[in-house]
Structure 1
Amino acid sequence: MPEPIAIIGIACLYPGARGAGDYWRLCGDPPASVPSTLDDVRVDVARYRIPPVQRRSMSRMQVLMLEAARQCLTDAGYTGRPLGTDRTDVIAGICFGLDRQYANALRVEGSRYARDLEHEVPALFGEHARETGRRAADELRVLLPERLGASPHDRVGEMASTIPARIAGAFRLRGRTVTLESADATSFAALAHAVNALRGDRCDAALVLTGQRWESPLFADALAAKGLPADVAEGVGALLLKRRSSAVHDGDRVYASILGCALEHDSRPGTLRYSTSVERRHRVARACHDAAGVEPRSVRYVERAASGPPAAAKAELDALDHLFEGAPPRSVTLGTPGTFPGRTFANAGLAGVAKAALALYHRRLPPHQPTTDAEAPHGTTFRSARTLEPWPAEPGGEPRRAAVCGASLTGALCHLLLEEHDSRGPKTSTAGRPSRGTVDTTHPEPIAVIGYGGRFADAPDAAGFWRVVHSGVDRIEPLPDAVLDRELYHRANDASLTHCYTDLGAYMAAPDEPPDGLRITPRRYKAMDAVQRVALAVAAETLTRHGRADDLTGHRGMVAIGSNLGLTRTRRLNADRQATDLDAIAAGLPALAPLSDRARARLLDRVRARFRTSEDPLTPVDLDGCLAGGVAALIAGEFRLSAVPVAVEAACASSLAALDVAVGALRSGDVDFALAGGAEITCNPRDLVLCSALGLLSHTRITPFDTAADGFSPGDGCALFLLKRLSDAVRDGDPIFGLLRGVGGSNDARSLIAPDVDGQVRAMRQAFEQVEFDPSAVDYLEAHGTGTRVGDRAEISATVEVYAKPGRPRPLVIGSAKSFFGHTFAAAGAAGLLKALLSMRARTFPPNANLRTPAADLPLDDIPARLPTAPEPWPAVPGRPRRAGVSSFGTGGINYHLLVEEYEDGSG
């Protein structure tokens, strides 16, 4: 059976609980009511060596997760002894935006409110009041950064992926860092990814943190509009995981072991909703038990972490009835979050696992008083404990076992199996693993690309993408007025907290209509975020033009999309609802002091009506358009893929992180196919202003590796790839467009902004550890190429460390998709992979756009390497396929490297 994963550290930050001890005490004696927020948690941020200028940009969730990480590592005993930091991953999970994201968006949108105020004063009071309106607008623009907070580091500080990166830096953890979102299945997705990484030997320890806060009233409004309870509780938790053999060897205290974690998706077109399928819920639970080799009747406790509304909760109970059919009467105790810790949404699964693990560790069954019929056990098998009870030993000395089940409004279904730890030795054998769940960690099976698609500036599909690349001409130009209001947001050559100093970008219009064959109502399509509409179009290309979507029916899959976890639509809807906050600021402006209270109220009513982008009440579809995980869930549902949806953020490396998540799931045997890639719309005033404040943007246009390099130009884009294990693709007769051979990831754990050669080198070497060839057998490097002097030099220096090998038959050819399409942020790695694949298929080395004079300080000759400026033939090397490396590095010290290989059979 697959090796159990030990839980060796627990952190709990919940209203009324400040550690595992408090958490277990309150689980054992649930209070009638608890405080509703975590606002009273005090954290000394200075202890984490964070510069004061960066502290102002930190989200509250980032602060809380830093504290949870410290608490978890301390609980595991890793304050006075070393943890294998080079191979410790940090995996975070959140949902529905962060406070700094909303504040930054409102500050940028506030410039529009100030202009509306300037226009409405004379419109209401006459031309003689025009100067009053101008003064009021100027005063408001000055006040907004002060009242809402502003820092040059806001763009980095607000990102969800900065949370694990900050933790990695604080505790010198240099494994992978990534943030995931899958609505209320977020915890299960994060834990499943950690389990796969540990069993696949991609890390030796994983710190998993998930959290949920009331960051905005919009969340409750959107849940209520969907007919769902809005009583989401706040909570942040963390688990430190190791393989059980490692934990025993290292002398760790083990709370419990994870035997299995299974996820499945009930795919249905239409609005996102909970599954009511008893069959599917039973199937995912049965699959979890079968993979672990454990009969359900050996489980004595089931924590129902996230059941969904009454119809879904009933289906869950019916599925459990089926699962435990034949078990003795009243032999299984059921639990739910109840009044404590409550429904913590993105954190629900981890809260449930912590509760079950502590129950196993203390050998006590926690009480539960059902508050609704949906929570009450039914049938003869189940019961509720009224008080904290002893958990009797199993006959025959078998270990005590517990399960945690959950469901998500995305349609995901989850089941996790736990076992108590006996310090005298594990009871579950780890020998003789079956093929499912077995991973060759030395040379794992190649992953076949059996479909692809893309959409970028002036490139409506993958063929258009290649036409642009082959032309050698970039698509960076002045942004349309509808995208960038220059009067409000552009001030040439002036870096500030309120304006951008460039108006250039590689803009891509989102589709106006859904892809052919998909029946989506106009109201629902309008409610989608632009990135959701783009990803849906690219998924249609990937699945129908190049891939074969119909052949995926009935197979287990995953949709992993690299994305910014704070979607633009979420921020705009929130700004609409926070217009009253702007009213409160405006009401106190000195310029408006002469107005009567009635006149001022009338003025602000008019300004608010003009400012708000929508007066329509929220509907059931609006929540779907606000979820980053909704991008993946939308694709899975509309194309009827039984594929667990997850959004992945790892800053500018998000695409390759999503591919890494997908490759790990494929190699573990958890899924049979995956659709993975990245999508982001970066050409918007918010990102332009925030990136300008930190001086990240080029004043002209991005020129990677050129002596004129002075920053990047933003670009919109999306690229997706349909993946299978090579053996399955060959068996199924799929077209094979290339092979993913190795993927490495690391965090440099030093700086959130400055690139680090050592961190990039570790990611590259990790990728090469998975293949049988060395770097001299790679012909082409699709570089990250941000177009900054320090970034370009660090990247080429890291490339020298890895790729400069004796016996290289030809110079390494280097290029960057950013020179054509700008920096597409979360889609950057996917753009690089698409470019490498299409170049390989065309047997053509792609050119670099705008490269005039390579920077003299780049150590290209040490590899040796060259930077072509025109398309060139890509000759084959006798005896081996064409190969390429793809790099993607992100703020927060996040580094990924992917190795791609030509498929020599020529199928497809």
Structure 2
Amino acid sequence: MKRVVITGAGTINPLAHDVAGTLAAFREGRCGISDLDIRDKDRLAIQIGGQVHDWNPESHFNRQQIVLYDRFTQFTLLAAREAVAQSGLNFAGDLSYESGVILGTAGGGLTTSDENYRAVYEEGKNRVHPFVVPKLMNNAAASHLSMEFQLKGPSFTVATACASSNHAMGQAFHMIRSGLTRAMLTGGSEAMLCFGGIKAWEGLRVMSKDACRPFSANRNGMVQGEGAAVFVFEDYDHARARGAEILAEVIGFAMTADASDIVLPSKHGAARAMAGALRDARLNPEDVGYINAHGTGTAANDKTECAAVADVFGHHADRLMISSTKSMHGHLIGGTGAVELLACIMALREGVIAPTIGYEEPDPECALDVVPNVARQAKVDVVLSNAFAFGGLNAVLALRRV
């Protein structure tokens, strides 16, 4: 069994267009949720989101590329370029055949779908661009990464709603640990902040009209976000041999299914995923210092997650720090676990725990240390990253400081 480390990270999200800016926002407890700037906003009941502002695709891609790249693919490529540059890897020779891509996304090219449905149904057009299908397909971003970096090994996309990127990163971890590959680009991306994407989520009646306040008694729903984060996962010996900087080690992963309800979370499924990640990493509950929570800000998720943490960690739960950065960047759906992994790496490398901002009133059903409103200095050696999706699909990663 190989050891697996992270040697590169890249992101674009509502807080910043790179990792350094994102970590600065985490440290400052800055909110990236704002008024939406999209077409037909006046027809929406929900008018806020974690939107990526000041995005100019022409600054990064030529005209021919933009024809092929949906917004979620654009975000992915930008994040991947930052991650690969930091890693210092050159995917040439044999490494090209022993490296691949596994990405998570829930909606894929939803912006492209939305635009073309408008063209056909609203504007009455009878033709669409011949590249609509390769632009909107969920595997588009993974395929373009494989082409840009000449990654000829296992490459595919995972779509498990809000757990997509954690499932993707878990699969990448397994492939390297088993010796099937030496390096993988992995993470997730989402760009659902278009009229149709928001209107669909409105129907669930789980959305907040003013703010994301995870674990606070007065929370009133989630806030959608968009963006991407991509990481270079690499075989530890390969990374050490080339003198790479190691950001963190991935030491465990588990995934479970609630098998109970399509939208209501189960504490038992969440607890089994966290306990499974501990077993896989050969950890005791008291080894964990911080959990980056799924923490959506809905009444059902937050109390269920806190109950699951209490079940798994017992008395140690009172000494655990658990925070939700969705309070800052919103819920990036299929890309959310990837962006949140940056907070886990920051905790391990810098000893800074990202806060849960917007916290106003204690909730007896969420009586854990949720690091309210202000980042905290604390040395931690092991962290968990939780992702619990609609459909009852759960994925938890365990990371260690190197």
Q: TM tier, shorter chain?
A: over 0.9
- Corresponding position of 2:374: 870
- Corresponding position of 1:855: 363
- Is the counterpart of residue 559 in structure 1 residue 101 in structure 2? yes
Match of 1:812 among 297, 306, 320: 320
Q: Separation in 2 of the partners of 1:794 and 1:672?
A: 37
- Is the counterpart of residue 675 in structure 1 residue 185 in structure 2? yes
Q: Separation in 2 of the partners of 1:858 and 1:868?
A: 12
Q: Separation in 2 of the partners of 1:669 and 1:474?
A: 41
Match of 1:503 among 26, 44, 47: 47
- Is the counterpart of residue 726 in structure 1 residue 281 in structure 2? no
- Corresponding position of 1:886: 385
Match of 1:844 among 336, 349, 352: 352
Given that 1:451 and 1:547 are in contact with CA atoms closer than 8 Å, whether structure 2 keeps it comes out as yes
Given that 1:560 and 1:647 are in contact with CA atoms closer than 8 Å, whether structure 2 keeps it comes out as yes
Show the 5 A alignment for 1:189-228.
none
Q: In the TM superposition, what whole-angstrom CA distance separates every residue of 1:228-270 from its partner, at most 9, and x where no partner exists?
A: xxxxxxxxxxxxxxxxxxxxxxxxxxxxxxxxxxxxxxxxxxx
Match of 2:31 among 471, 474, 492: 474
- Corresponding position of 1:618: 129
1:458 deviation in Å? 3.6
Q: Separation in 2 of the partners of 1:446 and 1:563?
A: 26
SS in 1 for 2:57: coil
1:553 deviation in Å? 4.5
- Is the counterpart of residue 465 in structure 1 residue 10 in structure 2? no
Q: Separation in 2 of the partners of 1:898 and 1:527?
A: 33
SS in 1 for 2:102: strand
Q: Separation in 2 of the partners of 1:561 and 1:685?
A: 24
- Corresponding position of 1:548: 88
Q: Separation in 1 of the partners of 2:248 and 2:266?
A: 30
Alpha-carbon distance change, 478 to 576 in structure 1, aligned in 2, over 3 angstroms: closer
1:824 deviation in Å? 0.5
SS in 1 for 2:94: coil
Alpha-carbon distance change, 479 to 521 in structure 1, aligned in 2, over 3 angstroms: closer
1:829 deviation in Å? 0.8
- Corresponding position of 1:207: none
- Corresponding position of 1:627: 137
Given that 1:451 and 1:721 are in contact with CA atoms closer than 8 Å, whether structure 2 keeps it comes out as yes
Computing the radius of gyration from Cα coordinates, the structure with the larger value is 1
1:674 deviation in Å? 0.6
1:576 deviation in Å? 5.6
Match of 2:213 among 695, 703, 707: 703
- Corresponding position of 1:453: 10
- Is the counterpart of residue 895 in structure 1 residue 394 in structure 2? yes
- Corresponding position of 2:58: 513
- Corresponding position of 1:485: 40
Q: Separation in 2 of the partners of 1:632 and 1:854?
A: 42
1:692 deviation in Å? 1.2
Structure 2 alignment gaps of length 5 or more: none
Q: Separation in 2 of the partners of 1:867 and 1:889?
A: 20
SS in 2 for 1:457: coil
1:566 deviation in Å? 4.5
- Corresponding position of 1:608: 124
Greater mean deviation of Cα atoms: 671-680 or 466-475: 466-475
Q: Which runs of 4+ in 1 moved over 6 A?
A: none
Q: Separation in 1 of the partners of 2:271 and 2:254?
A: 10
1:751 deviation in Å? 0.1
Match of 1:797 among 303, 307, 313: 307
Structure number with greater CO (CA < 8 Å, separation at least 6) is: 2
- Is the counterpart of residue 532 in structure 1 residue 73 in structure 2? yes
Given that 1:514 and 1:537 are in contact with CA atoms closer than 8 Å, whether structure 2 keeps it comes out as no
Q: In the TM superposition, what whole-angstrom CA distance separates every residue of 1:759-798 from its partner, at most 9, and x where no partner exists?
A: 0011111111112321111111100001011210000000
The residue type equivalent to 2:248 in the other structure is G
Greater mean deviation of Cα atoms: 659-668 or 706-715: 659-668
Alpha-carbon distance change, 654 to 897 in structure 1, aligned in 2, over 3 angstroms: same
1:642 deviation in Å? 2.6
SS in 2 for 1:653: helix
- Corresponding position of 2:110: 568
Q: In the TM superposition, what whole-angstrom CA distance separates every residue of 1:807-843 from its partner, at most 9, and x where no partner exists?
A: x8x8111111101000110011112211110232221
Show the 5 A alignment for 1:418-437.
none
Q: Separation in 2 of the partners of 1:505 and 1:664?
A: 34
The residue type equivalent to 1:874 in the other structure is A
Q: In the TM superposition, what whole-angstrom CA distance separates every residue of 1:154-190 from its partner, at most 9, and x where no partner exists?
A: xxxxxxxxxxxxxxxxxxxxxxxxxxxxxxxxxxxxx
1:473 deviation in Å? 2.3
SS in 2 for 1:857: helix
Q: In the TM superposition, what whole-angstrom CA distance separates every residue of 1:667-714 from its partner, at most 9, and x where no partner exists?
A: 222211111001001322112111111101012211000011111011
Q: Separation in 2 of the partners of 1:643 and 1:781?
A: 32
Aligned residues: 399
SS in 2 for 1:624: helix
Give the alignment's TM-score, normalised by structure 2. 0.93
Show the 5 A alignment for 1:647-686.
647-686=157-196
Alpha-carbon distance change, 712 to 534 in structure 1, aligned in 2, over 3 angstroms: same
Q: Separation in 2 of the partners of 1:543 and 1:874?
A: 29
Alpha-carbon distance change, 514 to 540 in structure 1, aligned in 2, over 3 angstroms: farther
1:725 deviation in Å? 2.1
Given that 2:114 and 2:195 are in contact with CA atoms closer than 8 Å, whether structure 1 keeps it comes out as no
The residue type equivalent to 2:347 in the other structure is S
Match of 1:641 among 151, 163, 169: 151
The residue type equivalent to 1:618 in the other structure is H
Q: Separation in 2 of the partners of 1:875 and 1:521?
A: 44
Q: Separation in 2 of the partners of 1:535 and 1:514?
A: 15
Given that 1:785 and 1:816 are in contact with CA atoms closer than 8 Å, whether structure 2 keeps it comes out as yes
Given that 2:351 and 2:377 are in contact with CA atoms closer than 8 Å, whether structure 1 keeps it comes out as yes
Q: Among the aligned pairs, what percent are the same residue?
A: 24
Given that 2:346 and 2:353 are in contact with CA atoms closer than 8 Å, whether structure 1 keeps it comes out as no
Q: Separation in 1 of the partners of 2:336 and 2:252?
A: 18
The residue type equivalent to 1:508 in the other structure is V
The residue type equivalent to 1:460 in the other structure is H
RMSD between aligned alpha carbons? Answer: 2.1
Give the alignment's TM-score, normalised by structure 1. 0.42
Q: Separation in 1 of the partners of 2:187 and 2:108?
A: 17
- Corresponding position of 1:89: none
SS in 2 for 1:638: helix
Given that 1:650 and 1:890 are in contact with CA atoms closer than 8 Å, whether structure 2 keeps it comes out as yes
SS in 2 for 1:870: coil
Show the 5 A alignment for 1:115-126.
none
1:666 deviation in Å? 1.3
SS in 2 for 1:896: strand
- Corresponding position of 2:203: 693
The residue type equivalent to 1:462 in the other structure is V
SS in 1 for 2:340: helix
Q: Separation in 2 of the partners of 1:636 and 1:684?
A: 27
1:608 deviation in Å? 2.4
Q: In the TM superposition, what whole-angstrom CA distance separates every residue of 1:853-877 from its partner, at most 9, and x where no partner exists?
A: 22122243xxxx343421221136x
Q: Separation in 1 of the partners of 2:315 and 2:100?
A: 37
1:847 deviation in Å? 1.8
Q: Separation in 2 of the partners of 1:791 and 1:774?
A: 25
SS in 2 for 1:804: helix
Alpha-carbon distance change, 565 to 706 in structure 1, aligned in 2, over 3 angstroms: closer
SS in 1 for 2:366: coil
Q: Separation in 2 of the partners of 1:573 and 1:714?
A: 19
SS in 2 for 1:669: coil
Q: Separation in 1 of the partners of 2:245 and 2:207?
A: 40
Q: In the TM superposition, what whole-angstrom CA distance separates every residue of 1:344-369 from its partner, at most 9, and x where no partner exists?
A: xxxxxxxxxxxxxxxxxxxxxxxxxx
- Corresponding position of 1:426: none
